[in-house]
Structure 1
Amino acid sequence: MEKEDEYSEWCGKFNRSSQSLKMMYQLKKMRENNEMCDFIIKSSDGREFHVHKLVVHASIPYFNSFNTFYSHDENHKDIVTLDMLSPKATELIIDYIYDGKIQYNKDIVLDIVYASDYLQMESLKNEAIKELFNYEDKDMLFNEKVMAVIEASILTNDKAMKFYAINFCEFSEKESFCILSLNSLIGILEKDYLDVPSEEFVFDSAMKWMYFDYENRKQFVLNIFSILRIAFLDYSIIFDKLLTEPIIIHNEETRKKIYHYLRVCLEGSPKFEYIQNYSPERNNYQLTCLSIDSSYRQNVACVNMKKFVLKSKMWHSHFYELFHKTDHITGIKYNNKIYFLQYEENEDYGSGVILDIDQQTTKRKTFSSGPRSGRCMAQFEDKIFTIGGLDMQGRNNLVECYSFRDNKITSLAPIPSGVINATSVVHGNHIYVIGGQLAQPLRIARRYFILTNSWEDINQMYYPRYKASAIAHRKQIFVIGGRNYNGVLNNCEVYDVESDNWTIIPNMPYKRAAASLSIRQNFLHVVGGYGESSEQIMQYDLLQCRWYEGPILEDLNLLHIAV
């Protein structure tokens, strides 16, 4: 009766109840009591484990091909030493063949992977590899020796695929990346959640993998090229890299794919249609917005991140954070960047609140020595610069810097001639202050040298404007919309940092001021603001130099920020 109770307890613990398992339970008890054990397995530290030869032979395939399993010399015919395995792994695997279960931890899981691979126990090996990825230890999972053992399991392991895709930038620099099989490589690269800065990075990584073993891998060029999202490559990359790469240009099928895409572009077809049909977005290429809902709940404000998925033409919530409701919200901090809000009422205060998504906290800070109506703000590293704006004494040339590290405000060199309602953007070690107004809207633009605390004039814009939007991209600064004498604008221009020249680009479909801007994969997104059809997002294709109507904002009562 006592044995039956123990068996029931064992079944409940391990969820086993079949007759065959009852027999295994009996064998387990016999082993514990050293009954009829006819074989000894020794670990590398000399410990002896008394087992049943038939159980070991049936459970560990390694012994099926071990020719001397039954033919040792008379003195040692019933003993084998597993000196290739760690002592703990040997013990756990012997327990496993009787219990069917291993209690994993970070210190032992890799030893189990190696041991099960050595002993050809595929089921246990796959189980241990799944456990290995639960710890997400990069030192282990980027290791070349580990990769050689686990590589064959990557394609069928969702956790493995996601781990290498999310950490792809770092992984692609490791030697272990180059020993991936073709199927594993494609399985990772084709994922929408592959986290890469650009499609050029994907192309470069694929070429690195191919040239690691060129003679044996050059035959796979079409397989690899087929998963490249070509619509997200600059034309310069297509002409300077793809069409100069011998292995690509000498392959008829890859040439056809490139020429088909270029033909679509030359015919003027909307690029988003090509993307939707042939070259879907990766997740981090998608238009992303933060929205602030102050009416979410009493005393609670909600910041929601949404992504627009082109394939479904729908907004999908990515995450949300709840904060205590507060007034004078100056910006939202996400990924160490502060996205400033263009609330007009915020300009009348010297302090404001930062909703810190990174730390899930609300921080009230005093950014300037006093309120300044029409100031502009810019972040550089851990500092916030407030520039211009009209203070209580009628001054409009003040420049101050708030340091998060020191929690101090420092006065800086004033901006020449002063300015109100200008637009500011950081590029390199400079802050560009563009347009604004005094008695009239201004065309002027100035550059502030952060390291030397000095100002210089740069060439003027074509159009006077204030309350415009600006964003830096590579060596250019895009200035979008704003206001002038006649109201809200739809004209736009681009400043080249190296040549000090302005270029006019096509007008937006709708007039817009104080909008939020972002650039993702060669598309400039204009989100929110005020003017015509402010619910309509506009998208500028940086490669085709043309505007498209993007998605519609779902709720204009919320403030939206493009990130």
Structure 2
Amino acid sequence: MYQLWKDKELCDVSLSVEGEIILAHRIVLAALSPYFKAMFCSQLNEKKKFQIVIQDLNPQAVKIIVEFAYTGSLDVTEDTVQVVMQTATMMQIPAVEKLCSSFLVKNLHPSNCLGIRDFAHVMACFELKDTADKYCEENFSEVSQHEEFLKLEVEEVIGFISRDSLKVAKEEEVYAAVMRWVAYDPERSKDDVSLLMEHVRLPLVQWDFLIKEVSKDKLFVTNKDCRQYLQQARAFQASSFHPDLINFAFNEAITRSQPRAFFSAADRLYLIGGESASREILSEFESFNPFTNQSKQLPPLPEAKRSLGAAIVGKIIYAIGGATISGSSRTVHAFDIDKQQWQSRGSLCEARSSVVVSVVGGEIIALGGHGSEGVLSSAETYDVELNSWSLLEMLEARSMAAAAVIDFRLYLCGGYNGCEDLQSCHVLDTKVHQWSHCANMLEPRSLLGAAALGNRVYVAGGCSQDKCLSSVEMFNPSTNEWTLVRSLTGPRRGLGLTAFGDMLFAAGGHDGKTLQGTILKYSPHTNEWSCVGNIITSRGRFGFL
């Protein structure tokens, strides 16, 4: 039939679309489309006519659909797909609609996803609409930089920025998107700024950004509502140091202080496994809410472990390696935050206790540790999609170390090499997987904590030649220098250290005499540590993130 059509043989109908003639066979068109079947099989005048005039349709789209009737193959481009889909909808050809929808899904881009979403809504193609909307949500920072977003009505912008599920790494990205929308058409947006800022979660932006960027924008000087939102955000953050402000901050800004779901899923701090005061290996798993300073028990780790590594990718927490009652372990478990369930994952290539674990660009890296034959000089990278590990060499063997990540550079600090506590710090450029040296820490440390905050690396506590440390050091990559900052409130080894917002949090550990159950918070703005809560199970040498 296709060859007959190509050769214009035995064609019994001529479609005239805007003056363009398309020859075809009635039986083929009727088999394809109820629209044509009704035309050729009813008592309409077109039943007996050879040439039929088709009104209000695009000739190129009709020709593409006629060719599909013979070949089953749809030849569309970004320029033609929408008009073909519209034509297929009118002609009641679901197969063509589905192929067009699939084409649009494959070609979703931050510059066109809003237009595709709106087109799908008009076409009542709800599956495509939902897919495009989800794409916009998951790529919001990029989408908000394109003209489609900048031309949205204020209600549509609010529809996005009010979502808990908006996939942004930090609230500063939402603020920047709103300010771009405002700047695109200042006259249009002058009356809508306060409506938008009501849904920007200013209490969650970093203090420096709040003071140096937000508070200096003229909107927060001239607009009364925006000025109030700024005051609430400042009060909320300052309430950590001035408790008399806490009622004002929480009562007025509570809805804007709730983290979005994709803030690295870190609306909590998590403590996994570890060891008790009697050196019992633990499976206990708990979270700590930095906004309410409350701890919560979570489903226990399937296997009791100490000296394990922990990482979070998306909304999955990984508990990696560690030591069980049988010795160093290769096992990996993953906890789904939404489902509140643990599952097994691909095992490490080598058993590792006292292992360091970090995440760089969505890739998990497990470094060093103690294996079956002593301290390890290898690392492993984990591919989340393939659920598999691959080996990577380090510059020297070390366990009981700590690491922090700035951009794509991982700083591996201190540790123990089997003979002595280490003072050295090595840097892994994860883009090329190459190691280099940076300045040594001011003193040797093993069983320390490390975290990155504001383009600085912090190390805290640990031990040096059996001495338990309370000192804290800060590394500036730009100057390659370590400097001392305010010490912990007491010595701690085997502690956890992590960054949340623009603060550091230290938890647990051993002071040389007893285990600690307090959680400390450090502000780089005041250079002060303060106790903000307690963990449910006092522990040391645990996974912390």
TM-score interval (norm. to shorter): 0.5 to 0.7
Query: What TM-score, normalized to structure 1?
Result: 0.58
- Indicate yes or no: 2:102 matched with 1:143: no
Greater relative contact order, per chain length (Cα 8 Å cut-off, separation 6+)? 2
- Indicate yes or no: 2:333 matched with 1:355: yes
Match of 1:280 in 2: 257
**Superposition pairs of residues 290-301 of structure 1, within 5 angstroms:** 291=272
Aligned mates of 2:465, 2:248 — CA distance in 1:
40
Aligned mates of 1:254, 1:327 — CA distance in 2:
49
Secondary structure at the aligned position of 2:333 is classed as strand
Tell me which amino acid in the other structure corresponds to 1:354: V
Preserved CA contact (<8 Å) 1:275 1:281: no
Aligned mates of 1:136, 1:310 — CA distance in 2:
39
Q: 1:269 aligns with which of 242, 249, 262?
A: 242
Preserved CA contact (<8 Å) 2:274 2:542: no
Tell me which amino acid in the other structure corresponds to 1:364: S
Q: 2:481 aligns with which of 487, 501, 515?
A: 501
Q: Give the count of matched residue pairs.
A: 440
Preserved CA contact (<8 Å) 1:524 1:540: yes
Aligned mates of 1:184, 1:43 — CA distance in 2:
37
Match of 2:76 in 1: none
Structure 1: tracts of 5 or more residues without a match: 1-41, 52-79, 88-109, 119-131, 295-300
How much does 1:511 deviate?
4.3
Measured at CA, do residues 420 and 550 of structure 1 come closer, stay the same or move farther in structure 2, by a change above 3 Å?
same
**Superposition pairs of residues 46-85 of structure 1, within 5 angstroms:** 47-48=38-39
Secondary structure at the aligned position of 1:364 is classed as coil
Q: Cα deviations across residues 308-364 of structure 1 (Å, max 9, x unaligned)?
A: 3846956496xx7986x5878954564299967695669964x62222558943433
Tell me which amino acid in the other structure corresponds to 1:478: Y
**Superposition pairs of residues 123-522 of structure 1, within 5 angstroms:** 139=108, 143-148=113-118, 165=137, 167-258=139-230, 261-262=233-234, 268-270=241-243, 276-277=250-251, 278=253, 279-283=256-260, 284=263, 286-289=267-270, 291=272, 308=289, 310=291, 313=294, 315=296, 325=303, 330-331=308-309, 334-335=312-313, 349=328, 352-356=330-334, 360-367=343-350, 381=363, 384-386=366-368, 399-402=377-380, 413-414=395-396, 421-427=400-406, 428-434=408-414, 436=416, 444-448=423-427, 456=437, 458-461=439-442, 464-484=444-464, 488-509=468-489, 511-522=491-502
Preserved CA contact (<8 Å) 1:333 1:355: no
- Which one has a bigger Cα radius of gyration? 1
Aligned mates of 1:529, 1:257 — CA distance in 2:
39
Q: Cα deviations across residues 379-419 of structure 1 (Å, max 9, x unaligned)?
A: 775764427x79969xx7x623446689775765446xxx6
Preserved CA contact (<8 Å) 2:310 2:317: yes
Match of 1:55 in 2: none
Measured at CA, do residues 224 and 494 of structure 1 come closer, stay the same or move farther in structure 2, by a change above 3 Å?
same
Tell me which amino acid in the other structure corresponds to 1:143: C
Aligned mates of 1:341, 1:513 — CA distance in 2:
20
How much does 1:202 deviate?
0.8
Aligned mates of 1:263, 1:408 — CA distance in 2:
47
Q: 1:540 aligns with which of 498, 518, 522?
A: 522
Preserved CA contact (<8 Å) 2:495 2:510: yes
Preserved CA contact (<8 Å) 1:221 1:248: no
Aligned mates of 2:366, 2:372 — CA distance in 1:
18
Tell me which amino acid in the other structure corresponds to 1:491: S
Aligned mates of 1:441, 1:234 — CA distance in 2:
35
Tell me which amino acid in the other structure corresponds to 2:250: Q
Preserved CA contact (<8 Å) 2:269 2:289: yes
How much does 1:479 deviate?
0.9
Aligned mates of 2:165, 2:354 — CA distance in 1:
41
Measured at CA, do residues 340 and 266 of structure 1 come closer, stay the same or move farther in structure 2, by a change above 3 Å?
closer
Tell me which amino acid in the other structure corresponds to 1:145: G
Secondary structure at the aligned position of 1:513 is classed as coil
How much does 1:176 deviate?
3.6
Preserved CA contact (<8 Å) 1:510 1:533: no
Aligned mates of 2:428, 2:294 — CA distance in 1:
43
How much does 1:196 deviate?
1.5
How much does 1:222 deviate?
1.9
Query: What TM-score, normalized to structure 2?
Result: 0.60
Measured at CA, do residues 511 and 158 of structure 1 come closer, stay the same or move farther in structure 2, by a change above 3 Å?
farther
Aligned mates of 1:480, 1:186 — CA distance in 2:
42
Preserved CA contact (<8 Å) 2:424 2:440: yes
How much does 1:204 deviate?
0.6
Aligned mates of 1:550, 1:151 — CA distance in 2:
49
Aligned mates of 1:528, 1:226 — CA distance in 2:
38
Tell me which amino acid in the other structure corresponds to 1:281: Q
Measured at CA, do residues 477 and 229 of structure 1 come closer, stay the same or move farther in structure 2, by a change above 3 Å?
same
Secondary structure at the aligned position of 2:505 is classed as strand
Preserved CA contact (<8 Å) 1:413 1:453: no
Match of 1:63 in 2: none
Aligned mates of 1:293, 1:494 — CA distance in 2:
26
How much does 1:205 deviate?
0.6
How much does 1:206 deviate?
0.6
Q: CA RMSD in A?
A: 5.7
Aligned mates of 1:251, 1:219 — CA distance in 2:
10
Tell me which amino acid in the other structure corresponds to 1:367: E
Identity %: 15
